[in-house]
Chains A and B, each alone.
Chain A
Amino acid sequence: MMYDWLYNLTGSEILSMFVVSLLPLFVFILPFALFAVLMERKVSAHMQDRLGPMRVGYHGILQTIADIIKLLQKEDLVPTATDKTLFNFAPLLVFMGSYAAFAAIPFSGFFIGSKIDLGIIFIVGVTGLVVAGILMAGWASNNKYSLLGAMRAAAQIISYEIPTLLIILTVIMVTGTLSLYDLSEMQTPYFWNWLILGGPAIGLEKVLLIPFMIMGCLIIYTSTLAEVNRTPFDIPEAESELVSGYHTEYSGMKFAMFFLAEYANMFAVSAIVAVLFFGGYQSPFGYLGNTLNLPWLIPIEQFFWFTSKGLFFVFVQMWLRWTLPRFRVDQLMAFCWKYLIPFSFVILLLVGLITLI
């Protein structure tokens, strides 16, 4: 959409591709990360009877910008005993993994990086780079805490990808498409068409689907939480045990890369949940643009709805983080293999039967 429009406007394939691929970074990821860090600090502060940052700007709204400037000014420290190539490359890889996922995320019907048919599989695959990056960081740091954190992270992320994929498979069975754009379009602009309420199916099938979809939604939300290493599954970082896990040795801008990737990832997984179960960019009550007959308003509304849904799930992630304690590494694995995966299989089978009806 965006690409075609730009191509028609400029006539240059490379330029339009360049702009489309950079847009999510500058239009969305960086401002989002700035905003989300502040949001995290404010949300946690108000949950804990504090005020949070108050000094820089009105109620501290410029705090994260000041932090970024501080991080930029820091010396780019590489400890002597590290494997320098891997050490320098790891943050890039982690960031690449989470950034590339944004290529397929449909912010609106108009603003979508790439409308690939395998969108959801692309996202799951490309975020797999994050694991490689984390392992690389842990290994290259030559620090025992980093190594332990990286091992935990690899085990955890790979395990939790299984229930995620099983639930995605369930959704695919119901909808018959892998493209995130088609998935969003399918859940037309009223909330009873959202997949969590059975999607566009009708009659008995819809009623039967609803409980499985709600369970599936809970499972996928839980396992994506684990994939982005948020509390209660933040054991790779586990501040109280492993100092800060795989990024213990990182400072300055390289640390900021990990940080940025974490927040970008938080939004990416929230976006997946939103697309799969909550109608993606579709409005829950129909569009103002349609009633007022202003077609240019619709993409803006869609963008608004999409970011609101994403931010809501990011908020829930923060809420959980500041409420729950952390699992132990074996309990975490047991939770995945003993509960989430069997349940996902059951859901997969039963939904398969339902769709056969």
Chain B
Amino acid sequence: MALKTEEMVLNMGPQHPSTHGVLRLELQIDGEIIIDVIPHIGYLHRCFEKHAEAMTYPQIIPYTDRMDYLASMYNEFGYALAMERLMKIEVPERVEYIRVIMGELQRIASHLVALGTYGADIGAFTPFLFCFRDRERILHLFEITCGARLLYNYIWIGGLSHDLHPDFIRLTKEFIKDFRPNVKELNDLLSYNRIFIERTANVGVLPIDTAINYGVSGPNLRASGMKWDLRRDDPYSVYHKFDYEIPVGSGEKGKTGDCWDRYFIRVREMEESLKIIEQAIEQIPEGDVKSAIPKRVKPPEGQIYTRVENPRGELGYFIISDGSLNPSRVKVRAPSFVTMQIFPELCKGFMVADVVAILGSVDIVLGEIDR
């Protein structure tokens, strides 16, 4: 006699320890096997895009901070870049260097959160605190620079709100020196742990053509084996002056594009970011960071799309100006939003525990999905 089984709908979130924010997942499960996943988003919707239309251009910057709150520097970076291209502002070299340093520090901080929480999702809690210990140093660097630890309002249109703190270069060098052994420690503790590999290798494989079809970008795309990084392929700021690798997933522990690849690509990107920061603080020129800031931001009529390589992928700003003090439209292409769409594809056929592993590995930030 065949046993009668029934499918169950399990509501995961919006209050759940590992949905990384207020994401609600409707899981259809057969025992522990996932039949279907329906993500419900919008719990963190703050009308950023509509709000922006009622603001002057500089007033929008603090709002961009609140989109991807783990990579606020990079959101500002992208917005400032878009506005400068729209207004054709030439930015002093020093500003560009500081922006790159801040952006790469932010990338490390953001990846540290991603890796640490991923460890916690898989059940290892200690790497989480090790990662946060290192992130704390970076936040301290931000704090001495602009006074804020999470939402900076630091990168302005045409410049920066403050020049670097006199201690900044020294502290950054110390951080880089201390951080390299910590990456190795993380690898020993988590990346090459047998149980961790068992849990993540061959789970949630994202084939490269699916990734491209859906428009996935950033580390998730690179983990699938595509060497696509906007810092190299659509260069902006001073990134062309530095020498660094673009890591791609190789399927070292399983199939290319599995959770382990997506995890490990971030570890390697942190090391590359360290290289960029090292070169940048060697080459950084003198200058006035506020000299190019316009007194009144009133761009000419027109539109611009600018994209930058945010820690989570391609962050694009589409700004339409009607020549007044307020934008006519600000549209954001959020990398997490695109990544979220592949999520049901990745989960089908795996188990409840794998949903958590896959969700952690694609590294979404709900603030950016909902905006």
| Minimum CB distance partner of B16 in chain A | A243
Cβ-defined contact, B125 with A235, below 8 A: no
Residues in B268-300 with C-beta less than 8 Å from chain A = none
| Minimum CB distance partner of A45 in chain B | B129
Q: Which of A145, A239, A323, A329 contacts B126 (CB 8 A)?
A: A323
Cβ-defined contact, A241 with B352, below 8 A: yes
Residues in B113-140 with C-beta less than 8 Å from chain A = 119-126, 129-130, 133
Tell me the bound Cα distance from A325 to B190 in angstroms.
Answer: 8
Cβ-defined contact, A329 with B32, below 8 A: yes
Q: Does B195 contact A (CB under 8 A)?
A: yes
Which B residues are CB-close (under 8 A) to A235?
353
Q: Does B196 contact A (CB under 8 A)?
A: yes
Tell me the bound Cα distance from A209 to B195 in angstroms.
Answer: 30
Q: Does A75 contact B (CB under 8 A)?
A: no
Residues in A123-181 with C-beta less than 8 Å from chain B = 144-145, 148
Range for the number of chain A residues in contact with chain B: 20 to 34
> Which residue, B10, B125, B352, B354, has most C-beta atoms of chain A within 10 A?
B125
Residues in B6-58 with C-beta less than 8 Å from chain A = 8, 10-11, 16-18, 32
Tell me the bound Cα distance from A20 to B123 in angstroms.
Answer: 40
Which B residues are CB-close (under 8 A) to A219?
none
Q: Which of A9-17, A24-32, A46-54, A185-193 contacts B (4 or more CB under 8 A)?
A: A46-54
Which A residues are CB-close (under 8 A) to B16?
243
Q: Does B198 contact A (CB under 8 A)?
A: yes
Q: Does B176 contact A (CB under 8 A)?
A: no
Q: Which of B8, B122, B126, B190 contacts A322 (CB 8 A)?
A: B126
A240-B17, A243-B17 as given contacts; A328 in contact with B354, CB under 8 Å: yes
Cβ-defined contact, B126 with A144, below 8 A: no
Which A residues are CB-close (under 8 A) to B353?
235, 238, 241, 326, 328-329
Which A residues are CB-close (under 8 A) to B352?
148, 241-242
Cβ-defined contact, A49 with B351, below 8 A: no
A241-B356, A324-B195 as given contacts; A330 in contact with B351, CB under 8 Å: yes
Tell me the bound Cα distance from A48 to B129 in angstroms.
Answer: 6
Name the prevailing secondary structure of the A interface residues: loop
Q: Does B193 contact A (CB under 8 A)?
A: yes
Residues 235-270 of chain A: 1 if any B CB is under 8 Å from the residue's CB, otherwise 0?
100111111000000000000000000000000000
Q: Which of A144, A145, A238 contacts B123 (CB 8 A)?
A: A238
Cβ-defined contact, A325 with B133, below 8 A: no
Cβ-defined contact, A240 with B190, below 8 A: no
Q: Does A232 contact B (CB under 8 A)?
A: yes
Q: Does B199 contact A (CB under 8 A)?
A: yes
Q: Does B189 contact A (CB under 8 A)?
A: yes
* Closest CB in chain A relative to B124 CB, distance in Å: 4
Residues in B323-371 with C-beta less than 8 Å from chain A = 351-356
Q: Which of A49, A243, A324 contacts B133 (CB 8 A)?
A: A49
Residues 311-351 of chain A: 1 if any B CB is under 8 Å from the residue's CB, otherwise 0?
00000000000111111111100000000000000000000
Cβ-defined contact, B123 with A234, below 8 A: yes
Residues in A81-97 with C-beta less than 8 Å from chain B = none
Tell me the bound Cα distance from A298 to B353 in angstroms.
Answer: 50
| Minimum CB distance partner of B15 in chain A | A243
Cβ-defined contact, B189 with A144, below 8 A: no
| Minimum CB distance partner of B10 in chain A | A144
Cβ-defined contact, A326 with B122, below 8 A: yes
Cβ-defined contact, B18 with A241, below 8 A: yes
Q: Does A282 contact B (CB under 8 A)?
A: no
Cβ-defined contact, A326 with B18, below 8 A: no
Cβ-defined contact, A328 with B199, below 8 A: yes
Which A residues are CB-close (under 8 A) to B195?
232, 324-327
Cβ-defined contact, B119 with A325, below 8 A: yes
Q: Does A64 contact B (CB under 8 A)?
A: no
A50-B129, A243-B17, A329-B353 as given contacts; A323 in contact with B189, CB under 8 Å: yes
> Which residue, A232, A240, A326, A330, has most C-beta atoms of chain B within 10 A?
A240
Which A residues are CB-close (under 8 A) to B8?
144
Tell me the bound Cα distance from A241 to B133 in angstroms.
Answer: 25
Q: Which of B130, B196, B198, B356 contacts A240 (CB 8 A)?
A: B356
Which B residues are CB-close (under 8 A) to A328?
198-199, 351, 353-354
Q: Does A231 contact B (CB under 8 A)?
A: yes
Which B residues are CB-close (under 8 A) to A231?
123
Q: Which of A48, A144, A232, A326 contacts B130 (CB 8 A)?
A: A48
Tell me the bound Cα distance from A139 to B354 in angstroms.
Answer: 24
Cβ-defined contact, A331 with B198, below 8 A: yes
Cβ-defined contact, A47 with B126, below 8 A: yes
* Closest CB in chain B relative to A41 CB, distance in Å: 12
Which B residues are CB-close (under 8 A) to A48?
125-126, 129-130
Tell me the bound Cα distance from A330 to B133 in angstroms.
Answer: 34
Cβ-defined contact, A49 with B129, below 8 A: yes
Tell me the bound Cα distance from A217 to B190 in angstroms.
Answer: 26
Tell me the bound Cα distance from A239 to B353 in angstroms.
Answer: 11
Cβ-defined contact, B121 with A329, below 8 A: no
* Subset of 7 A-B contacts with CB under 8 Å: A148-B32, A240-B122, A323-B189, A326-B199, A327-B195, A328-B351, A331-B199
Nearest 4 pairs between A and B by C-beta?
A326-B123, A325-B124, A48-B129, A240-B18
Given A240-B17, A241-B18, A325-B199, 7 extra CB contacts under 8 A? A49-B133, A232-B195, A239-B123, A325-B119, A326-B195, A328-B351, A329-B353
